[in-house]
Amino acid sequence: MKNEIKFPLIVQMTFILFFLLLSYYMLTEFKNYLAPLTLGVLFAYLLFPLANFFESHRIPRILSNILSIIIGLSVIYGISFFIYKQFGVFLEDVPMLKERASSNIRTIFKSIEVFFGIETGEIKPKVNQFVQDMLNTSGQDYKSTFGATFHTLFTIFIMPVYIFFLLFYRDKFKEVILMLVPSNRHAVADRIINDINQLTVRYMTGIFIVVSILVVLNSLGFLIIGLDHAILLGSIAAVLNFIPYYGTIIGYAFPLLFSVFIMDSPVYVVLVLVQFVVVQFTENNILTPNIVGFQVNINPFMIILAITLGGFVWGLTGMFIAVPFVAALRVLGDNIDELAPLGYLLGKGGTEEHSVNVARYARFFKLSEIRARKTLRRMRKK
């Protein structure tokens, strides 16, 4: 029997810290290479059901992959081009929006001074300057984001290549992983691969459908409200829902600020907030449960930490891939004994006694009702 070498805790922690620092350096240093590749993996999962459908109808894999990529990327690039054109219309209105924003800011601060008797002093010009800079920055960010830079062109043209080969060699990738795993653990490895594949496919297809529906709901709602640039604002609010938690807040921050500083009545602010509540209730309780059809089974705190870290390292791309990545880690933790603490940390288990659910509320109100009846009987006896 071989003697196992056990390092002191401080040495183990040093190795872990070194690994984390090295990983951060690699992720940031090779961001322009790794980010498109990672997005290609996720989009390959998104298009896998379509490619598998064509292949199941006796269409060769090469042709199935090409057809799937043409259909999928036509939709994605079509939506991107549509938002691009809508943003172009928005930029044409920026000079008028600046004037309207300045007028609204003067009205808002004048109302504050009249109703509350508060001297705004230098606050009004600072707020006005902030809004003007925000409108200017929007145009600059728009040009830098959608402009024909080398990185943007590289990502657009290399993505279909990544997706094609990821779909074409999907069986080979699985075989390579099994070759690296001892034969006595092939069953576990095969289960892990299948669970991660199924989880990622369902997550990507489900959330894409949900976001597509939200584009229609948000845009239609803003059009009914009468908000200017309703389709652009509705599309932005919906697309950012690819990012859990943060995306919802950031997405509706744009129409809310627009209604405060640009529109000519405070009624629009109230209507935007009402629509936010209605749409979020619909998305959280109807669309996501029925379309996505499953939960990644990660506790919200870990999701928030993962999204924050992903945004810190890779920006919006990192925030987008954070949830599928952490979900894959949770699957590893659930199936590998050595990683069981990681699976427990990421999962939702361990807080059942403190969780809020319908059954607990029902028991609480039932017990409260019984106690009230007993108290009433005692009072009657007295």
Distance CA 95, CA 72 (A): 37
Last residue of a domain, one of 263, 294, 325: 294
Cβ neighbours for 163, distance < 8 A, ≥ 6 positions apart: 40, 43, 44, 47, 65, 69, 72, 73
- Residues 299, 194: one domain? no
Q: Which amino acid type is present at position 17?
A: L
Residue 49 located in a structural domain = yes
Predicted TM-score of the model (pTM): 0.75
Distance CA 206, CA 208 (A): 5
Residue 16 located in a structural domain = no
Q: What is the pLDDT of residue 339?
A: 85
Q: What is the pLDDT of residue 146?
A: 47
Cβ neighbours for 164, distance < 8 A, ≥ 6 positions apart: 65, 66, 69
- Residues 307, 215: one domain? no
Number of domains forming the structure of the chain: 2
Residue 225 located in a structural domain = yes
- Residues 279, 307: one domain? no
- Residues 274, 329: one domain? no
Residue 334 located in a structural domain = yes
- Residues 288, 143: one domain? yes
- Residues 195, 319: one domain? no
Residue 366 located in a structural domain = no
- Residues 261, 138: one domain? yes
Distance CA 340, CA 327 (A): 14
Name the residue range of residue 306's domain.
295-350
- Residues 248, 328: one domain? no
Residue 376 located in a structural domain = no
- Residues 284, 317: one domain? no
- Residues 91, 46: one domain? yes
Residue 253 located in a structural domain = yes
SS3 7: coil
- Residues 57, 93: one domain? yes
Last residue of a domain, one of 275, 294, 313: 294
pLDDT in tens, the chain (382 residues): 455 667 788 888 898 899 889 989 999 999 888 888 999 999 999 999 999 999 999 999 999 999 999 998 888 878 878 887 777 777 766 667 667 767 766 676 666 666 666 665 666 566 666 666 665 655 555 545 444 445 566 677 788 899 999 999 999 999 999 999 888 888 999 999 999 998 899 888 888 888 989 999 999 999 999 888 888 889 888 988 888 778 888 888 888 888 887 777 778 889 999 999 998 888 877 887 777 655 677 888 888 899 999 988 988 888 889 989 998 999 998 888 888 888 888 887 776 565 555 455 555 555 555 665 666 666 666 5
- Residues 211, 279: one domain? yes
Residue 24 located in a structural domain = no
Q: Which helix (H) or strand (E) holds 229?
A: none
**Using alpha carbons only, what angle is made at residue 135 by residues 130 and 137, rounded to the nearest 5 degrees?**
90
